[in-house]
Structure 1
């Protein structure tokens, strides 16, 4: 890698973290204040651990983004309650995926109705993110996921892509979004320098039921992480440099999945930037 575009993307990163017991200390110890931190939500533990960590990290001076899955919201009143709570913490950015809770906690089974509700509440957030799927969603056809982003464009301000390990697929997906005239900027989801043993340990700590879903849903991830030379975030970025940095792609930055390997991810990012800068 050697392009100025990639250096810019590595300086414009978001770190996705899980709301575990040690996450706050890890973020404060290793993440610069100019790095956006996004906090996931578990269908097992609900929104409370997410909202609690978001509030505490915001108090440390971070720009924090709570994940608020639609299927964890009970009703319109619950939406208003969550909005008020995170706005009180100074949060102006929210990420709204559909979520995996089955059955849903209430009447929301997808992100679009929640996005519409946020618009009805006066668009309380400057930034609103939605999910994109470069690699096919296990349950939803690709045409439907692309159409979904089109439907959400009036309520959202950016797209976060799920993990993708195939440079060709990632490039084709970005091109397809732009052909559909979806104008939202994209934060490309990239797995950090994950160690498989630590990933398995992290999954186990989420909880038995949640871990089962995580491992079943993402079994191919573990194979790619475990294979000798099978996955390198730097290699993926090098192979997609042209697609990610083309002005027509509209890629705003990288969304790094840390799997709570926060120190390792930040060390990797700094090391790559040093190499790129000569």
Structure 2
């Protein structure tokens, strides 16, 4: 099957999409079969593992050790509010070093604070003070804001965290114009961190519901709150989501070197095989420069294809 492409997409835009689709990060939730799910990915792929207050940060670090041993580049989410104190952080960093993990994604997290670190910045500072061998550190950014944090607080934190980070990853946003204007404003302010654009993978409603049923009531509320727009799209569709149109709407920004967009971060919701199949087919379509035979159907909106 060939994927339809937006009419009028330039060669430069197509090349830019091929570039970021070649080596994306695949985000997974630390559930029992996550390692098996990752087996559909090419060896060496970056696999980002979220942190669950229900399961604890040890589940994240443990899964990352397994993924790293299996030949992937594991990226643990180090959730500040789930780290008890300096000794706990030192142990976590040592465990990651022993496992050969050289990536990390530092977040504040949604667990109630029960340790020394209230936010990602405090954890980053402590990591720097302890010393570590993590060569690539990502931090989150929020083109459409955060449900519980004021915009000015987010921006101040981003400016301060940038000194400790290698890149920033955008949280789910379905508005390419909002992403573009947010990025332009940050570049004007002097934030030059490379950007990984967060994009939902191919997801079916029943798969999403199964995931939320398995992560616990607290985590489900957190998940739904953070991804309400995406969940609403799935509920309305009755089908499944594909990110084709959103990706293509972002193509001019990805092709523009001033944006600093260097990669994609695919939120798979553990539908790893379906997302990887989509990625490979989409890349094949870009390479062949052919249209899907069904391209005469109505074009999807910039929010993504629902079928």
Output the TM-score relative to the length of structure 1.
0.95
State how 1:149-168 maps to structure 2 within 5 Å: 149-168=158-177
Contact kept, 8 Å, 1:58 with 1:64, in 2: the verdict is yes
Counterpart-to-counterpart distance in 2, 1:81 and 1:187: 28
SS at match of 1:134: coil
Does residue 1:5 correspond to 2:16, yes or no?
yes
Q: Specify which of 183, 186, 206 is matched with residue 215 of structure 2.
A: 206
SS at match of 1:224: helix
Contact kept, 8 Å, 2:44 with 2:71, in 1: the verdict is no
SS at match of 2:78: coil
Query: What is the CA distance between 1:230 and its match in structure 2?
Result: 9.2
Query: What is the CA distance between 1:110 and its match in structure 2?
Result: 0.3
State the Cα deviation string for residues 53-86 of structure 1 (Å, max 9, x = none): 1111111111111001000000111110100001
Q: Specify which of 62, 83, 88 is matched with residue 52 of structure 1.
A: 62
Query: Residue 141 of structure 2 aligns with which residue?
Result: 132
Query: Residue 100 of structure 2 aligns with which residue?
Result: 90
Counterpart-to-counterpart distance in 2, 1:176 and 1:116: 26
**Greater displacement, 237-246 / 262-271:** 237-246
Query: Residue 70 of structure 1 aligns with which residue?
Result: 80
Q: Specify which of 118, 124, 130 is matched with residue 115 of structure 1.
A: 124
SS at match of 1:174: helix
Query: What is the CA distance between 1:149 and its match in structure 2?
Result: 1.4
Output the TM-score relative to the length of structure 2.
0.86
**Greater displacement, 122-131 / 69-78:** 122-131
Query: Residue 247 of structure 1 aligns with which residue?
Result: 257
SS at match of 1:124: coil
Query: What is the CA distance between 1:123 and its match in structure 2?
Result: 4.3
SS at match of 1:26: helix
Counterpart-to-counterpart distance in 2, 1:20 and 1:115: 26
Query: Residue 144 of structure 1 aligns with which residue?
Result: 153
SS at match of 2:169: strand
Query: What is the CA distance between 1:135 and its match in structure 2?
Result: 1.5
